[in-house]
Amino acid sequence: MDWNPPTLWWLAAGALVAAELATGTFYLLMLALGCAAGALAAHAGAGATAQVAAGALLGGGATALWHLPRARAPRAAPAESNADVNLDIGQTVQVPAWAADGTARVHYRGADWSARPARPGPAQPGPHVIVAIHGSELQLAPAPTP
């Protein structure tokens, strides 16, 4: 078997695709594109420096272009306060009274829950909105008045 430069580039591209399939890291596909560019440059008769430059420019450029929109996207809220993860976030509960230690017992979804104000300071009884859930404890904020 002839291990010429295009063959080595294609093997590297295949290995990167296989690694991407095993790990789910989409960046490896961008690097595999760079290896394909190096292979095409080798097929065109370019020297080793031009092959590496073509691979680095396309692979690195594709990786950077893939990363930029993801880096600029807003970060998701932590799971404990993300309404997309926990459907209880944003639901209203009635707080009958707050204890001296800053906790309350609220009835929600057919069970009694321990609750704590999400912000420091004095809390008032009345309607509250669930803003986060830490374990089995609800974090509450006063409900907006209509």
pTM (whole model) above 0.85: no
Measured from the Cβ of residue 75, the count of other Cβ atoms closer than 10 Å reads: 5
Q: What is the pLDDT of residues 29-65, one digit of tens each?
A: 999 999 999 999 999 999 999 999 999 999 999 999 9
Separation of alpha carbons 54 and 46, rounded Å: 10
The DSSP output letter for 79 is G
Q: Is the pLDDT of residue 1 over 70?
A: no
What confidence score (pLDDT) does residue 78 get?
A: 76
Please answer whether residues 38 and 54 qualify as being in contact, where contact means their C-beta atoms are separated by less than 8 angstroms. Answer: yes
**What is the percent of the chain where pLDDT is above 90?**
62
Question: Can you list the domains of the chain with their CATH numbers?
Answer: 5-72 (no CATH), 79-142 (2.40.50.140)
Q: Is the pLDDT of residue 81 over 80?
A: no
Pairing of β 92-95 and β 126-134: antiparallel
Average pLDDT value for residue range 123-134: 91
Identify the CA nearest to 112 among candidates 134, 95, 90, 131.
95
Please answer whether residues 133 and 88 qualify as being in contact, where contact means their C-beta atoms are separated by less than 8 angstroms. Answer: yes
What confidence score (pLDDT) does residue 46 get?
A: 92
Regarding predicted confidence, which is higher, 56 or 79?
56
Average pLDDT value for residue range 14-18: 96
